[in-house]
Every structure is written in structure tokens, then in C-alpha cells.
Amino acid sequence: MNEYEQVRNSLIDMLEDLDDRLAKITHDVREPLDHDFEEQATQAENDEVLDGLGNAARTEIELVRQAISRIDKGQYGVCQVCGKAINVERLKAIPYSSLCIKCASQAGC
């Protein structure tokens, strides 16, 4: 059993949830506008929020995919900048993290 198999499975679950969320957001944004002008204004504002949420989901999906790839390559848990081990508590909190606390702080993450 791979050391990070459970983490990989959790990341896959997270990826499925994010894909579902993104599909719902995309569906909502594609809904036709209401005939009422005031309602259209409200829908446009809501669509802006949904676009932001969709972009955030896309970013998170990419980060999760990269983490799964690092697990598959045996590079998971290693800082992509300094090469030192990423603290286990950080990986528990942000399982797709690719930077240790020090490098993330310096990068402004």
C-alpha cells in the first residue's frame, strides 16, 4: 500500500466534488435571462459571483490534479521550491499544497 494512497483517494473525492460543483455553476450561468429587466440585472450580478466561484473551482481542480500527479510520481509532500518536506499538519489542512510554510509565506500564498 502506497504511503499516500489514502490521501490520493481523498484528493480524488475532492476532485469529483469540485467537478460536480463546477458543472452546477456552469449550468446556472447558462440559464437564459428572465424577461423582466430588473430581474436580468439581478441575474447578471449573480452570474458575476458564479463566474468567480467557477474560476476558484477551476483553480482548485488544477491544484488537486497536480497533487495527485505528485503522489503518482513519488514527489508528494516535498516543497516544489526548496525541496524540503512539507509539514504533515500543512498537508492535512491543504492536501494539495506544493510549498512548505516558509516558501508559501515568501511567495505570498
User: Domain spans of the chain?
Assistant: 1-76, 77-109
Q: What is the dihedral of CA 23, 53, 16, 99, to 10 degrees?
A: 150
Per residue of the chain (109 residues), what is the pLDDT tens digit? 478 999 999 999 999 999 999 999 998 888 777 777 777 777 778 888 999 999 999 999 999 999 999 999 999 999 999 999 999 999 999 999 999 999 999 987 6
pTM of the model: 0.81
Q: Would you give the DSSP letter of residue 41?
A: H
| Separation of alpha carbons 99 and 58, rounded Å | 20
Look up residue 3 and give its three cell numbers: 504511503
What is the tally of helices (H) and strands (E) in the chain?
4, 0
